[in-house]
């Protein structure tokens, strides 16, 4: 279908473009901006007056729960949530059941997603078989099956010799490794940030050292092997300082932070709110402020939802017994807008963290921007509209989020994937 998106404020961070102009879509691609191409006849016109036209958003951490955890969520429900949130590309962590450690599993997942004809998925393969940290996965075969990187999700590798071999192998073939910094013996029994709040509530704490010890190990091994490293879901000021130092020493490292950790801190646990039970834990207000500043100045490269749907049985329990995680696909845009406004950033710079900057980390070249010839993955949203987050309003099967009841800015009006209108909101 030939689609004209007319009179919208087109914001394209990759091309540093912010202007009111028309966007012409044909054959699943953007064929022109501003001036209609010759012989172009629109079969549908979307009036974007007063709205922002942006590249479809790219989420670096979205658990769709298939295979293995369909009672928590399904590909169908989470793809619908992605469309409602304007998220057109999803990086999928490997902690499914079974883990994404075999080419057949990866091909099955991508085939299922393609049949649903919604968001594009980019599987992140398991670094070790079964995420057990003992034997390396067949990385080359997994890349051929569609994996864009390798990770252990939330399961750290205890044996550093195994991790070093994995990084050496990845460096040989220029595969990027995504790791979440968790020292296993410092984090395995805790439930909240090790601070005054956890002490007052009687919760076992997870110290910042659980992140920095793990992170220091990863950075030293990356320095020794030359591997390209991406640190996922950073949570502390001390962790960011280590990354800053590693970069001065020549380590090729990027990092991201979740929407939860730039808006919340350990004080938001309140009276044992299980929706605030997250991994990594919500840390101190000082950590949150450092993460917001690092994201604003570009030292933190991208913002992700860390979408982790949990069923009600997993959350309606005492805090320490609840399952960690929060839904976030539909909140990625509103919380990005809220963070950018508080940081004093323009829409152009704020949206970069979930479009062009995220695309670079995944390695996507045909999305994350609105260049002529690019894949027509587009989000049209109203930045001035506000809405209250409710369980009924979330399309995700997981209704668990610390932001329930909050009023947030930004409403998605249209989501296009490869030139097809996949979502229309009010």
Catalytic positions, written as ranges? 306
Q: To the nearest 10°, report the CA torsion of 245, 249, 253, 255.
A: 10
Pairing between β-strand 420-424 and β-strand 407-417 as defined by DSSP bridges: antiparallel
Distance CA 123, CA 418 (A): 19
Distance CA(408)–CA(91), nearest Å, equals 25
- Output the CA torsion sign for 282, 203, 61, 337: negative
For residue 416, report the phi and psi dihedrals to the nearest 5 degrees. Answer: -115, 135
Q: For the chain, how many residues are written?
A: 426
Q: Which candidate, 55, 62, 78, 51, places its Cα nearest to that of 410?
A: 51
Please give the Cα distance from 91 to 124 (Å, whole number): 7
Q: Residue 112's CB: how many other CB atoms inside 10 A?
A: 17
d(CA 82, CA 73): 13
Q: Three-state SS for 179? A: strand
- SS3 readout for 307-371: ECCCCHHHHCCCHHHCCCCECCHHHHHHHHHHHHHHHCCCHHHHHHCCCHHHHHHHCCCCCCCCC
Number of H helices, E strands in the chain: 14, 18
SS3 at position 411: strand
């Amino acid at each position: 279908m030939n689609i004209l998106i007319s009179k919208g404020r087109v914001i394209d961070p990759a091309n540093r473009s912010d202007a009111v102009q028309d966007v012409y879509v044909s054959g699943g691609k953007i064929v022109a901006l501003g001036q209609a191409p010759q012989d172009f006849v629109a079969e549908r016109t979307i009036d974007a007056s007063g709205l922002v036209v942006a590249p479809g958003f790219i989420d670096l951490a979205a658990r769709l729960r298939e295979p293995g955890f369909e009672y928590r969520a399904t590909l169908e429900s989470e793809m619908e949530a992605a469309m409602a949130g304007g998220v057109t590309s999803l990086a999928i962590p490997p902690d499914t059941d079974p883990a994404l450690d075999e080419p057949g599993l990866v091909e099955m997942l991508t085939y299922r997603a393609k049949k649903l004809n919604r968001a594009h998925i980019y599987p992140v393969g398991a670094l070790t078989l079964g995420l057990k940290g003992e034997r390396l996965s067949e990385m080359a075969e997994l890349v051929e099956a569609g994996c864009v990187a390798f990770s252990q999700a939330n399961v750290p590798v205890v044996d550093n010799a195994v991790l070093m071999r994995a990084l050496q192998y990845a460096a040989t073939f220029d595969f990027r490794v995504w790791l979440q910094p968790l020292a296993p013996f410092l984090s395995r029994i805790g439930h909240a940030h090790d601070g005054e709040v956890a002490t007052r509530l009687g919760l076992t704490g997870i110290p910042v050292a659980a992140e920095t010890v793990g992170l220091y190990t990863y950075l030293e091994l990356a320095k020794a092997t030359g591997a390209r490293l991406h640190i996922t879901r950073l949570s502390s000021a001390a962790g960011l300082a280590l990354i800053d130092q590693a970069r001065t020493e020549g380590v090729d490292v990027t990092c991201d932070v979740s929407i939860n950790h730039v808006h919340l801190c350990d004080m938001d646990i309140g009276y044992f709110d299980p929706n605030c039970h997250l991994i990594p834990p919500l840390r101190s207000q000082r950590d949150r402020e450092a993460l917001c500043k690092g994201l604003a100045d570009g030292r933190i490269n991208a913002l992700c939802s860390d979408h982790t749907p949990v069923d009600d049985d997993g959350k309606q329990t005492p805090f320490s017994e609840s399952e960690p995680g929060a839904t976030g696909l539909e909140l990625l845009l509103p919380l990005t807008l809220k963070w950018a406004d508080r940081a004093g950033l323009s829409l152009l710079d704020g949206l970069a963290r979930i479009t062009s900057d995220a695309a670079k980390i995944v390695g996507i070249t045909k999305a994350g921007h609105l260049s002529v010839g690019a894949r027509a993955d587009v989000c049209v949203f109203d930045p001035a509209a506000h809405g209250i987050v409710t369980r009924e309003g979330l399309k995700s099967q997981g209704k668990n989020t610390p932001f329930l009841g909050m009023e947030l800015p930004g409403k998605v009006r249209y989501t296009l994937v490869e030139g097809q209108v996949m979502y229309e909101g009010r």
